Structure 1
Amino acid sequence: MVGAREIELASRLADVAGGVIRPFFRARFDHESKDDHSPVTEADRAAEAAIRAILDSECPSDAIIGEEYGEKPGTSGRTWVIDPIDGTISFMAGRPIFGTLIALLEDGWPVLGLIDQCINKERWIGATGLVTTLNGKAASTRACRELAQAALATSGPQYFSQHDGEHFMALAAQTAHKRMLFGGDCYNYGLLASGHIDLVVEAGLKLHDFAALVPVVEGAGGMMCDWNGDMLHAGSAGHVIALGDPARLEDVVEALACAH
């Protein structure tokens, strides 16, 4: 079970990461392309290294999965999942809509999640059985009476394959598409948890991209699942739906299946 100790630790990890990241923001720093052509900066690597050092010291039996330094096995059945800068492209462009993601999984299921935007000083924390908070105050999603009223967000069309993009656009056509938002990465899920947008749909995410988001969204009254409506876990393929109003799930899944 997740308790005050785990929440305090996750917050401390985010504090340390933020302290590493802020001096690099809108400054000169080294970066390179990874094998998948996505960028990585020295800030990404330094922040993850700082987080791992604390976890290695305080939770030596827990596994760790991080975007930059891979997987460390554990024996406790618990796994910390880290994305030091989710939205590296936004970070490199000086846009404060990136975030540090920290999740705790128990037997492969997300039970604790944190989204931290260290420039705006916004931090969402969600945990199983608890109400999600934004900077210590309760966060709540908003109702959406019909799909045609839904404000939809995604990181960008370039992240969809042609096949997935066709399904996404079939959904987008049934939403309030003139209010569609591109860009934002994890920040979109924080905005959804706080009731500012209704729907986020993405494909090709990795565990470090979505694990922390699940407790945040669900603790605010929303839901997260894959494109079939199944719950997200460590083995999920990365086709992700986040809904502020769970009543719209059937509408969204049906719309995603409508591409020709």
Structure 2
Amino acid sequence: MPEPADFLATAEAAAEAAGAVIRPLFRSALLVEAKGDASPVTEADRAAERAIRALIADRHPDHGVIGEEYGDSNPGADWVWVLDPIDGTRAFVTGRPLFGTLIGLLHRGVPVLGLIDQPATGERWTGLAGQPTRFRSAMGGVPRCRPCPRLEEAELSCTSPDMFDAATAPRFAAVKAAARRTTWGGDCYAYGLLALGLVDLVVDATMKPWDWAALVPVIEGAGGRCTDWAGRPLRLDGDGTVLAAGDPALLAEASKLLAG
């Protein structure tokens, strides 16, 4: 039976293919459309996902794919790739390098391989279930979450306050009030920073599978935990909440506040 590591070369090649599409378009004049959820979509999103899908179809025709731009194909397969060609499209279209390509692989619904690629800076995080996270960057950095057992000492990050509704906003506010400091924005890049020991906690909501599938192996391979707000494993049919803690000791306190 194949192991997750057997598919690492595919994930790396997919990131290279996506990056070759994305880099020439970054900070260029792009036609930006509006999706139903009002997030911007560019040709870079679509072309990058097409490139990844073509590579997966060629190498692993029996695998499934779940992608943000082109939906599901064979999602009931044992091995399913979960793709977000540009996570943080708002950052991309405004020229900020706080976006990334997310390539995750699920085995029977469980995240076993994850890759976060920042094609503009050349940074790449790679996680495999049961193995230490790897990080590639000309700027250096060690993929290891730092100790931070107390919420009052934690650096908290969140993609946007706009992702919370009347039910979730007070729960997030409780964590924000307890944390040392809060930084907004970053999308998947914030989770990469958590894996480098620069952020201690990331709390998001309304997350889709393509937003979190690649993050789990990266964070857990760096010593952290990535769950829903109740501390449960993330699932395809979950509620869209995500809680990433660099120090697992933070998980119980944060989950208690997020439970309301």
Letter in 2 for 1:94: G
The aligned counterpart of 2:18 is 17
Residue correspondence of structure 1 range 83-122 to structure 2 within 5 A = 83-122=84-123
1:101–1:208 Cα contact (<8 Å) kept? yes
The residue aligned with 2:198 is 196
Match of 2:168, SS state, is helix
Q: Which residue number corresponds to residue 68 of structure 2?
A: 67
Matching residue of 2:78: 77
Relative to structure 1, the CA distance from residue 223 to residue 237 in structure 2 (aligned partners, 3 Å threshold; closer, same or farther) is same
Find the aligned partners of 1:44 and 1:230 in 2 and give their Cα distance.
Answer: 31
| Residue-by-residue CA offset, 1:95-133 (whole Å, 9 max, x unaligned) | 001000000000011000000001111000001111001
Aligned alpha-carbon RMSD (Å): 1.4
1:166 Cα offset (Å):
1.1
Cα 1:28/1:225, change in 2 over 3 Å: same
How far apart are 1:235 and its partner, in Å? 2.0
| CA contact 1:206–1:237 (8 Å) conserved in 2 | no
Matched, 1:222 2:224: yes
For 1:249, the equivalent position in structure 2 comes to 251
State the match for 2:36 in structure 1: 35
* Partners of 1:87 and 1:184 within 8 A in 2: yes
Instruction: Please tell me whether residue 163 in structure 1 is matched to residue 167 in structure 2.
Output: yes
- Paired letter, 2:252: E
Q: 1:158 to 1:3 in 2, by over 3 A?
A: closer
User: Once the 2 structures are TM-superposed, how far is the Cα of residue 56 of structure 1 from its aligned partner?
Assistant: 1.0
Map of 2:183 onto structure 1 = 181
Which amino acid is the alignment partner of residue 234 of structure 2?
L
Unaligned 5+ segments in structure 1 are none
Most deviating of 17-26 and 162-171: 162-171
Paired residue total = 256
User: Would you say the 8 A contact 1:2–1:127 is kept in 2?
Assistant: no
The answer as to 2:133 corresponding to 1:139 is no
Instruction: Give TM-score scaled by structure 2 length.
Output: 0.95
Contact 1:110 1:233 in 2 (8 A): no
Residue identity matched to 2:212: F
